[in-house]
Structure 1
């Protein structure tokens, strides 16, 4: 399985009054990890948008286990948990600077035509992405 690792320096604006990362910011960090994983696989999300395709989130979940704090550098690990040619489930783990697991999560996505939001097959419309995703899950 291919795993992308992204480091995030926690900024003050991402925290609450206790200096703890505000929960919604982990979803942004998931997107950073997802984008970097796609780039690691040799693709660019903007290229599918140029073809009139977007990839909305169908479901997203996060489980909080440990606080990440202002000034720390968090590590986000991202991988493809499941892929069937149509839906993609990305998995995430966020670690504190000390290496403690802080957050786990997953998000489920499909590709749709931007004009009408009708789902499309990644396998059919983006065969190179399809093959790379299959390979990334197997490795």
Structure 2
């Protein structure tokens, strides 16, 4: 299960060399992650409404080739793990050539908002929405 977004790299994301500043890659990951979560109606507002926060506890980015101002990129977020944590893998491609420019991942865990305690399993509300969506997609 994955989601793709197309981003036209804005000027305010690049440094003096016209290359995207390294911290903005995580922002691009976040944009794709939100689109992925929207697919099964469990984005950040729904997480909060269900009583859970999902902080990022780990992130990794492998910069293969710099992204430049005005470049059209496609960011793909793929859900890889979900039972005990959310592990989402990302790839960034040049939208025209299809060449992969970057890859990475993030890991998130559920935290009960009221108690601030980390959950060792994904909450049932999340699993219900995910499985309902994936069942719908396979029909």
**Distance in structure 2 (CA, Å) of the matches to 1:86 and 1:133:** 19
Aligned to 1:115: 114
**Distance in structure 2 (CA, Å) of the matches to 1:82 and 1:122:** 10
Show structure 2 runs of 5+ residues with no match: none
Show structure 1 runs of 5+ residues with no match: none
RMSD: 2.1
Cα contact 1:80–1:133 (8 A) shared by 2 = no
The answer to which of 26-35 and 126-135 deviates more is 126-135
Quickly say closer, same or farther: Cα 1:112–1:133, change in 2 above 3 A: farther
**Distance in structure 1 (CA, Å) of the matches to 2:48 and 2:131:** 19
Cα contact 1:52–1:113 (8 A) shared by 2 = yes
**Residues 36-85 of structure 1, C-alpha deviations (whole Å, 9 max, x = no match):** 001123433201212331100110000000111101111101111222x2
Q: Pick the aligned partner of 1:95 from 85, 93, 96.
A: 93
Quickly say closer, same or farther: Cα 1:132–1:110, change in 2 above 3 A: farther
Q: After TM superposition, which residue ranges in structure 1, 4 or more long, deviate above 6 angstroms?
A: none
Aligned to 1:36: 35
